[in-house]
């Protein structure tokens, strides 16, 4: 167990709906990254939040948005859901400034199914 928690565990939505996924970072970590993992693929970087601001973004459209709160927890919001958004959504936390760079620890993930 990494100490990173995510909710909900599973979610079923229909095309066009909106969804919010939540993540609590590991104690002592100040950075949260979100990844999308399609079946049979490696995780794909969506974006990262540090000090409550977006700190880098992957090749995802603007309908993917996020927030980070003062307690370092984070939300991922996806609007206008498409069938291809069906995937495992992973949250990872780390601490920028640590000597051990970039070690990111993943939460259990949220499995999103879009029908």
Partner 1 sequence: QKEVEQNSGPLSVPEGAIASLNCTYSDRGSQSFFWYRQYSGKSPELIMSIYSNGDKEDGRFTAQLNKASQYVSLLIRDSQPSDSATYLCAVPQGGATNKLIFGTGTLLAVQP
Could you tell me which residues come within 8 angstroms of residue 102 by beta carbon, excluding any fewer than 6 positions away? 94
> How many residues sit close enough to partner 1 to count as binding (CB under 8 A)?
29
Task: List the interface residues with partner 1, window 42-61 (CB under 8 A).
Answer: 42-45, 48, 55-56, 58
Residue tagged 């992957």 (tokens): 58
75 strand-pairing partners:
22, 67
36 lies in the site for partner 1, by CB under 8 A: no
Least distance from partner 1 to the Cβ atom of residue 13, Å: 20
Cα separation, 31 vs 53, in Å, equals 10
Cα separation, 11 vs 93, in Å, equals 22
Q: Per CB under 8 A, which region of 12-20, 30-38, 60-68, 71-79 contacts partner 1?
A: 30-38
7 lies in the site for partner 1, by CB under 8 A: no
Query: At 85, is the secondary structure helix, strand, or coil?
Result: helix
17 lies in the site for partner 1, by CB under 8 A: no
Q: Which two tokens stand for residue 72?
A: 């370092």
Binding site for partner 1 (CB under 8 A): 2, 31, 33, 35, 40-45, 48, 55-56, 58, 88, 90, 92, 94, 96, 100-109
């Amino acid at each position: 167990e990494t100490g990173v928690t995510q909710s909900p565990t599973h979610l079923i939505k229909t095309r066009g709906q909106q969804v919010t996924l939540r993540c609590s970072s590991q104690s002592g970590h100040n950075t949260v990254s979100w990844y999308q993992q399609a079946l049979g693929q490696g995780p794909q970087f969506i974006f990262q939040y540090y000090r409550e601001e977006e700190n880098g973004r992957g090749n995802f459209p603007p309908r993917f948005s996020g927030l980070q709160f003062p307690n370092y927890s984070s939300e991922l919001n996806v609007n206008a859901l498409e069938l291809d958004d069906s995937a495992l959504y992973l949250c990872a936390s780390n601490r920028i400034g640590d000597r051990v760079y970039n070690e990111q620890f993943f939460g259990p993930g949220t499995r999103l199914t879009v029908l």
